[in-house]
Amino acid sequence: MIHHSGFWEIYIAVGIRQDSKGSWAGEEDGGAGKCPKSTIDTVARNSTVTHLKLSFVLLNFYPLPRLVSFIYLYIYISFLLNLSPDSSKRENKSCFTTAAAAMCGILAVLGCSDTSLAKRSRIIELSRRLRHRGPDWSGIHCYQDCYLAHQRLAIVDPTSGDQPLYNEDKSIIVTVNGEIYNHEELRTKLVSHQFRTGSDCEVIAHLYEDYGEDFVDMLDGMFSFVLLDTRDKSFIAARDAIGITPLYMGWGLDGSVWFASEMKALSDDCERFISFPPGHIYSSKKGGLQRWYNPLWFSECIPKTTYDPIALRQAFEEVHGFFLFPCYFCIA
């Protein structure tokens, strides 16, 4: 005899909690420069155990005892999520996600009135405040009154992708936080250029050479970057379409322009600062922020289609059904 067990829907939330010292999973309390070189292993060792919350919206197992149902459910969810009952394996999987989300830290100061070694040391000191974002490499490029610093978490091309990155003659310097998903496709459009690294972010310098400031909408990924063109001392800064990677902008008392991944690198040296808006680019040539992300749906055009409540309801039901996760069990 076949019994239909009803259907249930599961919403799963996986989160990273804080440990007893108040540090997020994957972040050490040592401060700048105290994280070991192998980032993923470090995160795996120092992370706290993730917690898995299972919310059962509808659970109707008519013929099965409740205990057997929960055991079967646990095995099924473990299979779907590729989780092992071994807690150490679950921890490593979640830690990798945390490490990937941490990304890198960038700091750029452009147009300083002070170009002394003391100012350079100050920039390095402020950059170290972002060390927890990228423990694998620290880099800085100084050109006259401009400084670009970077704290790297090595994910793509960990051996040669140290930043800042350059074009062939190093006249264009870029520091990037994020990942460019379509970098391999973009490389095929840049066959005339010589790439020094396998980093996904190097394409930004070469795209700027070929397309100028209008290349940002060619990037598919999560990113925030600052690019300096030493040929005319112009610079641009941009953030991804929905602001996945953080970026802040500040202004110093001497008229300098600052960019950083976190406010802690700006708060002591800038008279004011703002959150850099997602989907925007700042150009020193044009003198302000401009939106580069302009999809068709972003316009404020008033729909001309006649209101149809039945069609609207059907559309909502289709979307609702798409996001649900129904499962059916047949028990002999």
Cα–Cα distance between 77 and 328 in angstroms, integer? Answer: 14
| Model pTM score | 0.63
**What's the confidence (pLDDT) of residue 331?**
47
**What's the confidence (pLDDT) of residue 76?**
58
Same domain, 94 and 111: no
Same domain, 123 and 193: yes
Of the three residues 40, 74, 100, the one that is the final residue of a domain is 100
Which residue carries 């936080």 as its tokens?
Answer: 177
Give the domain range for residue 63: 3-100
DSSP line for 66-106 = HHHHHHHHHHHHHHHHT--SSHHHHHHHHHHHHHHHH--EE
Asked if residue 64 is part of any domain, the answer here is: yes
Asked if residue 162 is part of any domain, the answer here is: yes
327 SS3 class: strand
Encode pLDDT of 106-162 as tens digits: 999 999 999 999 999 999 999 999 999 988 888 999 999 999 999 988 888 787 778
Same domain, 138 and 36: no
Asked if residue 313 is part of any domain, the answer here is: no
Of the three residues 78, 100, 122, the one that is the final residue of a domain is 100
Same domain, 245 and 127: yes
Q: Quick one: how far is CA 261 from the chain centroid?
A: 11
**What's the confidence (pLDDT) of residue 71?**
66
Asked if residue 91 is part of any domain, the answer here is: yes
**What's the confidence (pLDDT) of residue 322?**
61
Structure tokens at 185: 């496709």
Asked if residue 188 is part of any domain, the answer here is: yes
Cα–Cα distance between 8 and 241 in angstroms, integer? Answer: 36
Are 327 and 12 a contacting pair, CB within 8 Å?
no
Of the three residues 53, 85, 100, the one that is the final residue of a domain is 100
Same domain, 172 and 68: no
Asked if residue 195 is part of any domain, the answer here is: yes
Same domain, 88 and 233: no
Return per-residue pLDDT of the chain as tens, 332 residues.
434 433 333 333 333 333 333 333 333 333 333 333 333 333 333 333 333 333 343 344 444 455 555 666 666 566 555 544 444 443 443 333 334 444 799 999 999 999 999 999 999 999 999 999 988 888 999 999 999 999 988 888 787 778 899 999 999 999 999 999 999 999 999 999 999 898 999 999 999 999 999 999 999 999 999 999 999 999 999 999 999 999 999 999 999 999 999 999 999 999 999 999 999 999 999 988 999 999 888 777 777 788 889 998 988 888 766 655 555 444 44
- Sequence-distant (6+) residues with CB within 8 A of 155 are 99, 100, 179
**What's the confidence (pLDDT) of residue 153?**
87
Asked if residue 80 is part of any domain, the answer here is: yes
**What's the confidence (pLDDT) of residue 307?**
85
Indicate the DSSP class of residue 216. Answer: G
Cα–Cα distance between 3 and 245 in angstroms, integer? Answer: 50
Same domain, 223 and 129: yes
Indicate the DSSP class of residue 44. Answer: H
Same domain, 82 and 165: no
Cα–Cα distance between 259 and 107 in angstroms, integer? Answer: 6
Asked if residue 75 is part of any domain, the answer here is: yes
Same domain, 197 and 243: yes
Cα–Cα distance between 42 and 95 in angstroms, integer? Answer: 9
Same domain, 256 and 146: yes
Residues belonging to the active site: 104
Domain count, the chain: 2
Same domain, 257 and 145: yes
CATH code of the domain in which 181 resides: 3.60.20.10
Same domain, 94 and 112: no
